[in-house]
Amino acid sequence: MKKITIAEMAKYNGQTVKLGAWIANKRSSGKIAFLQLRDGSGFVQGVVVKAEVGDELFATAKALTQETSVYVTGEVKEDTRSAFGYELAVTDVEVIHEAKDFPITPKEHGTEFLMDNRHLWLRSRRQHAIMKIRNEIIRATYEFFNDNGFVKVDPPILTGSSPEGTSELFATKYFDEDAYLSQSGQLYMEAAAMALGKVFSFGPTFRAEKSKTRRHLIEFWMIEPEMAFIEHAESLEVQEQYVSHIVQAVLTNCKLELERLERDVSKLEKIKAPFPRVSYDDAIKWLNDNGFDDIKWGEDFGAPHETALAESYDMPIFITHYPIGIKPFYMQPHPERDDVVLCADMIAPEGYGEIIGGSERIHDYELMKQRIKEHNLDEEAYAWYLDLSKYGAVPHSGFGLGLERTVAWISGVEHIRESIPFPRLLNRLYP
Ligand code: ATP
Ligand code: MG
Ligand code: MG
Ligand code: MG
């Protein structure tokens, strides 16, 4: 008999198959038991009818506890009442390991308890759905960039210098030298773009963020494309096409997961390039005119500002041309204004905040040197980076998309901690 996974069941309609599975939940009466089976690939209901399997097997099925592992044999049957579409008419159950007192029961648990048990919480339907959506976003990311002529490049994680100063950096030792965990691979990706034209990275980044928000992790994953000969406005087009692509991919390939999360898909269905562009100047003016007197020109937005600005759109928006003083040293100044730079943040709808930060980069050697000095960065450590504007400098742009923010938004989960398997938070390094 064929051993298959739940995800493969549709191909075996009417046939008897064997599944390796865990008991996610169970309901039973004197005559019939409903086993909620999960095997990682999906969830399906197994039906055990006493009159058909006999007293002994029925007693075994009735006694199954949550998270007990089993081999179940049965016939695949169409089941039009379930979203999955199939069920298993069970003919045999073989217990592999009996789980006793699984701590996460179907009743409600507090967040701290669930976080302490993250290694077990991951088995839930909800977490399963989020992880599958995360995986689909990663898959669609590779698809988009590969289809558009980008080369994947992996920047280092241990670094000697960092793009944005050292305040949020994790310091470590590199033998006798000081080293830092990467908080962005951008500078290396710029070097890679000068070698390979269009490049993207996907890797972990680390920030010692001291603030406790629902949008910040200490360790998160970033996708960082960098493109030679691409100017600011052209980069925005790549960004909106990329984000539209991943949203469409999730809508197409994660229907069951979105349903399980009760995601309002009508909101996602509207996401299509182009996205609105709003200048920082106009954004500040709009905020001040609409009751936000806690922010003035020259300051960065807080979460409530970003939420309010995005609220009147059903699309992600770009906020463009931020003041030079609140952005990193490498951003290209506006050709007609010296107080703003050629940059944009993409703000997701529904209160999820900034998902992308991007800009055109300076490619003038003297200006880059001056900006490094103004930011009190160690010129020696940036000598290699300065070489990029010394030998065949070209206009180039890039951006960084935070994977977990994007997963949270597309999945519709409120807190970023659920969008990564093992979140690192201000007060949490375990499990
Ligand atoms: P924020 O303003 O929300 O703190 P940022 O401007 O510091 O973000 P960038 O340096 O522009 O972030 O990083 C690029 C992207 O990485 C952000 O747009 C966001 O999607 C993501 N990101 C930044 N910091 C975090 C974090 N601590 N946890 C999760 N994702 C993050
Ligand atoms: Mg930040
Ligand atoms: Mg920001
Ligand atoms: Mg940013």
Residues 324-370 have pLDDT tens digits of: 999 999 999 999 999 999 999 999 999 999 999 999 999 999 999 99
* CA nearest ligand 1 atom 22, residue: 402
Local confidence band at 431 (pLDDT 50, 70, 90 cut-offs): very high
Mean pLDDT (the chain) is 96
pLDDT > 90 fraction of the chain, expressed in percent and rounded:
94
pLDDT digits (tens, 9 = 90+) for 364-421: 999 999 999 999 988 888 999 999 999 999 999 999 999 999 999 999 999 999 999 9
- Kind and range of the H or E element at 265? helix 265-269
Say if residue 132's pLDDT is above 90: yes
Q: Are 183 and 168 in contact (CB under 8 A)?
A: yes
Ligand nearest to the CA of 356: 1
Q: Are 35 and 43 in contact (CB under 8 A)?
A: no
Q: Dihedral (C-alpha) 200, 206, 211, 215: value to the nearest 10 degrees?
A: 40
> β-strand 396-402 against 353-361: which pairing, if any?
antiparallel
pLDDT digits (tens, 9 = 90+) for 117-128: 999 999 999 999
Q: Are 221 and 257 in contact (CB under 8 A)?
A: no
| C-alpha to C-alpha distances, 399 to 104, 106, 363, nearest whole angstrom | 40, 42, 16
Residue 364 CA to residue 375 CA, distance in Å, equals 17
* CA nearest ligand 1 atom 10, residue: 357
Return phi, psi of residue 3, to 5°.
Answer: -95, 120
**Ligand 1 mutation target, pool 187, 215, 239, most atoms within 8 A of CB:** 215
Per domain, the residue ranges of the chain are 3-97, 118-419
Distance from the CA of 112 to the center of ligand 4, in angstroms? Answer: 29
Note residues around ion ligand 4 (Cβ under 5 angstroms).
357
Peptide bond into 335 cis (omega under 30): no
Q: What residues have CB less than 8 Å from 117, skipping those under 6 apart?
A: 103, 104, 431
Looking at residue 392, what is its pLDDT?
97
Local confidence band at 1 (pLDDT 50, 70, 90 cut-offs): confident
* pTM greater than 0.80 (yes/no): yes
Distance from the CA of 298 to the center of ligand 4, in angstroms? Answer: 15
Looking at residue 160, what is its pLDDT?
87
Looking at residue 165, what is its pLDDT?
60
Task: Tell which atom from ligand 1 comes closest to the C-alpha of 355.
Answer: 20
Local confidence band at 9 (pLDDT 50, 70, 90 cut-offs): very high
Residue 68 CA to residue 255 CA, distance in Å, equals 28
Distance from the CA of 401 to the center of ligand 1, in angstroms? Answer: 8
Local confidence band at 167 (pLDDT 50, 70, 90 cut-offs): confident
**Ligand 1 mutation target, pool 219, 405, 407, 419, most atoms within 8 A of CB:** 405
Looking at residue 428, what is its pLDDT?
94
Residue that has been written with the tokens 């992600």 in this structure: 316
Question: What is the greatest pairwise CA distance in the chain?
Answer: 85
| C-alpha to C-alpha distances, 211 to 37, 168, 208, 303, 408, nearest whole angstrom | 40, 11, 9, 12, 19
Token readout for 367 is 């200006």
Residue 139 CA to residue 228 CA, distance in Å, equals 24
Pocket of ligand 1 (CB under 6 A): 207, 209, 215-217, 220, 222, 353-357, 400, 402, 404-405
pLDDT digits (tens, 9 = 90+) for 224-276: 999 999 999 999 999 999 999 999 999 999 999 999 999 999 999 999 999 99
Token readout for 169 is 């950096």
Residue 130 CA to residue 409 CA, distance in Å, equals 11
Residue 407's closest CA among 211, 204, 147, 132? 132
pLDDT > 70 fraction of the chain, expressed in percent and rounded:
99
CATH topology identical between 3-97 and 118-419: no
Looking at residue 381, what is its pLDDT?
87
Mean pLDDT across 84-107: 96
pLDDT digits (tens, 9 = 90+) for 23-62: 999 999 999 999 999 999 999 999 999 999 999 999 999 9
May I ask the CATH class of domain 3-97? mainly beta
Say if residue 163's pLDDT is above 60: no
Looking at residue 162, what is its pLDDT?
58
| C-alpha to C-alpha distances, 412 to 153, 155, 333, 352, nearest whole angstrom | 30, 31, 36, 9
* CA nearest ligand 1 atom 21, residue: 402
Task: Tell which atom from ligand 1 comes closest to the C-alpha of 406.
Answer: 20
Distance from the CA of 354 to the center of ligand 4, in angstroms? Answer: 7
Q: Dihedral (C-alpha) 241, 243, 244, 248: value to the nearest 10 degrees?
A: 140
pLDDT digits (tens, 9 = 90+) for 285-318: 999 999 999 999 999 999 999 999 999 999 999 9
Q: Regarding the domain delimited by 118-419, which CATH topology (the fold level of the hierarchy) does it fall under? A: BirA Bifunctional Protein; domain 2 (3.30.930)
Which residues are bridge partners to 76 per DSSP?
A: 88
Distance from the CA of 207 to the center of ligand 2, in angstroms? Answer: 8
Residue 353 CA to residue 239 CA, distance in Å, equals 16
> β-strand 158-159 against 86-97: which pairing, if any?
unpaired
